[in-house]
A and B are shown apart, each in its own frame.
Chain A
Amino acid sequence: MPDSTPEAEGPGPWCTTDGPTPDTHGPGPAPAPPAEPCDLAVIGAGPAGLAGAVAASGLGLSVTLLDGADRPGGQFHRHPDPALGAARPGALHHDWSVFTGLYHRLTSSAVTRLTGHHVWTVVRDGDLWAVHAVTGPDGDGDGDGDGDRDGDSDDGAGDGGRPVCVRARAVLFATGSHERHLPFPGWTLPGVVAAGGAQAMLKSGLVLPGRRVVVAGSGPLLLAVASALAAAGARVPVVVEASAYRAYARVPRALLAAPHKLVEGAAHGAALLRHRVPLRTRSAVTRAHGTDRVEAVTVSRLDRHWRPVPGTGRRIACDALAVGHGLVPQVELALGLGCATRRTPDGTYALVLDGVQATTVPGVFAAGETGGVGGAQLAYTEGELAGVAAAAHLLGRSALVRTARVRELGRRRARLRAFADAMARAHAPGPGWTRWLDDGTDVCRCEEVTAGRVREAVADYGARDARTVKLLTRAGMGWCQGRVCGTAVACLAEAAPGPRQPPSPERRPLAAPVPLGVLAALDTEETGTRDPDPDPDPDPDPDPDDHPSHDTAIATATATADITATTATATADTPAEDSATATDAQACSPPDEQ
């Protein structure tokens, strides 16, 4: 593949709007956040967070907007660095003009924008919330994992991971979602990539994983991904969808109530037709073939329960596979504060929200995919609602949420949520998918734990849930903290004989990897951060593993710290660190490295 950078090409027919590129280039060195507490900290600068920050600021709140990425826009409006010189970034986007309009309002507002800030925990701090973040492109810019305690951030990339704490009177979680994955034999081969990941790499880096890319999995995102890849010059031999799109026919009212979604779907359909991309429903990629990279996939028919129908496998040559099975709300920061969750129609967990986006914890709001996956339109709507509601809450002006505009936003939200629920129901994974796993398939990519070992934990050692499987096998204990394998492990554990236990929402002590040095430095003066209350909220749950205390957060950090290149030694060298941290660090190293 000498050059897989997309060729210059006119906008695809999915491009409904277009506009100028906002200069969203990161501001260089991250600005110091205000030392004074702000009214509202917004975490996530996707559609929901942008709308929330702008609305709240417009009503007079002081707002700080944090995002791990170096440019605003979130997943939907992910766009190339202006330095890449894409002439029309909007060509890959619906609603680009909505984004540029909002971005313009953001830059002309008083909102403090902190790009490149990875939030790893939020804790109560007296009457305030303390939002802890690390800076840099991957949260540890100088790569020595010390959170730049040694002050050498300038010796390399100049983007060292600096700890930052923003204190706020209220918090808005707009952290979006991550993809759901159902493993299959061969899915760890290079060239097999996440569907949304391929989309993200294309949108931000203008690159493709291959020339002939099969798109597979389930959910409406696949159509968007396939049309974008095709328009960028990839050949897409087939889009493989596990559900039957017929399921939509059962929800005509919800469909009719969301005309925007229909238009979008039709546009993707037209793009696929134009590029002669066939859509095969009720089918799945049940195996990827190749030795050092993917060379072909087997596509099999599925029955109603997503069990592969024997004898239907067909081999399709390709040099890449983009695969994903929908999205999972990213709620761990809110879970850490005790916010209640609900199970969505496709089996994920989303935050419980009232009519104006308040979570069950006073002063904590959420919008967009954190309240249930529903797309960018819904995220914009909920973000604005949340911004207004936060202002009403903090200013004590309940009239703010009784305006005609808020009622209109509420109606739009109800319509879009109904559609999202219908989609989720249509694309909910069938229980039979686990039949396409063989015992040698790695289920946990990080720790290389096979389906066979997970099944053994369930059948022979009586594991009944993902947490027990994790303790027995290390599945889900690795770098991604179970984001990638969580669904699969839960499904395999659910297959245990006896009464079924629905999986519980996945708790992760750390929302972003954080260098050990940052944790160790939390109670020292020099970083300017405040010590998060070690037990911010007396824990009513007696199960220590379920509600991680700050200590377990530190312990888990070490598994993570492995990737941020931290060693227990680095911590031990730090004079100010407390001994519990070092002990936990030791206890938590992978056994093969002790």
Chain B
Amino acid sequence: MGAAPRAAFEITFDGRPVPALSGQSVAAALWAAGILAWRTTRVGGRPRGAFCGIGQCHDCLATVNGRPNRRACLVPARPGDAVTTQEGHGRAGLDT
């Protein structure tokens, strides 16, 4: 299948630049850069990333632009998005 991507841009993952294509989800952009984990679990602190790919398992939760618990497989990547590894429930540093 021929891909002739039009708009390429950058997002960041834990501060380092990651290329993304317009129309890709955050998870797809991370996969394309070889990044498979962007969350640690609440109990065991184990790394997780996308599993079901269609919004059902919630393994892919990421903090995007400071907002935790976004499903990276559903959220479209946008130029300049700052994706950070989500630790546990993702509320560290939030006022709750």
Contact = CB atoms under 8 A, between A and B. Distances in A.
Which interface class (under 10, 10 to 19, 20 to 34, 35 or more) fits B?
Answer: 35 or more
A156 interface: yes
B2 A87 contact: yes
A156 B67 contact: yes
A138 B28 contact: no
23 contacts: A4-B31, A5-B32, A9-B1, A75-B54, A81-B22, A84-B22, A91-B2, A138-B71, A143-B64, A143-B69, A144-B67, A190-B49, A192-B51, A194-B53, A196-B54, A205-B24, A205-B28, A205-B29, A293-B37, A445-B51, A447-B43, A565-B69, A593-B89
B6 interface: yes
Interface string A288-303: 0000110000000000
Contact of A156 (B32, B65, B74): B65
Interface residues on A, range: 35 or more
Interface string B33-77: 110110001111011111111111111010011011111011110
B27 A87 contact: no
Contact of B3 (A8, A194, A201): A8
Nearest to B1: A91
Interface string A272-293: 0000000000000000000011
Contacts of A89: 1
Interface of A: 1-6, 8-9, 11, 68, 70, 75, 80-89, 91-92, 137-138, 142-145, 156-157, 178-179, 188, 190-194, 196-201, 204-210, 231-232, 292-293, 320, 445-448, 478-480, 483-484, 513, 562-565, 567, 569, 590, 592-593
Given A143-B69, A293-B37, A484-B57, A84 B1 contact: no
A480 B56 CA distance: 6
A1 B33 CA distance: 7
Interface of B: 1-7, 21-25, 27-29, 31-34, 36-37, 41-44, 46-59, 61, 64-65, 67-71, 73-76, 78, 89-91, 96
Given A80-B23, A448-B42, A569-B96, A200 B56 contact: no
Contacts of B48: 188, 190, 445
Given A8-B3, A84-B22, A563-B58, A197 B51 contact: yes
**From A137, A197, A198, residue with most partner B Cβ within 10 Å:** A197
B31 A207 contact: yes
Given A2-B34, A191-B36, A206 B1 contact: yes
B50 A201 contact: yes
Q: What 4 pairs across the A-B complex have the smallest Cβ distances?
A: A205-B28, A81-B23, A197-B53, A143-B67
Contacts of B4: 85-87
B57 A205 contact: no
Contacts of B89: 562, 593
B58 A446 contact: yes
A92 B1 CA distance: 7
Contacts of B44: 448
Contacts of A11: 1
B16 to A, nearest CB: 14
A2 to B, nearest CB: 7
A137 B76 contact: yes
Name, among B34, B57, B61, the residue most crowded by chain A CB atoms within 10 Å (CB to CB).
Answer: B57
A593 B1 CA distance: 47
A188 B48 CA distance: 7
Contacts of B42: 448, 590, 592
B83 to A, nearest CB: 13
B36 A293 contact: yes
Nearest to A513: B58
A178 B56 contact: yes
B75 A6 contact: no
Contacts of B78: 157
A206 B74 contact: no
Nearest to A89: B1
B28 A204 contact: yes
A507 B50 CA distance: 25
A231 B2 CA distance: 11
A145 B61 CA distance: 14
Contacts of A84: 3, 5-6, 21-24
A239 B75 CA distance: 31
Nearest to A483: B56
Nearest to A478: B58
Contacts of A179: 52
Nearest to B95: A569
Given A156-B65, A157-B78, A445-B51, A190 B58 contact: no
A448 B47 contact: no
B74 A137 contact: yes
A5 to B, nearest CB: 5
Contact of B27 (A75, A86, A205, A479): A205
A448 B70 CA distance: 20
A138 B34 contact: no
B53 A196 contact: yes
Nearest to B90: A565
Contacts of A194: 51-53, 57
A208 to B, nearest CB: 7
Contact of A209 (B23, B36, B46, B55): B36
Nearest to B30: A207
Contact of A204 (B3, B22, B25, B57): B25
Nearest to A142: B67
Contacts of B1: 6, 8-9, 11, 86-89, 91-92, 206, 231-232
A144 B94 CA distance: 11
Nearest to B45: A448
B22 to A, nearest CB: 4
B70 A143 contact: yes
Nearest to B22: A83
Nearest to A228: B1
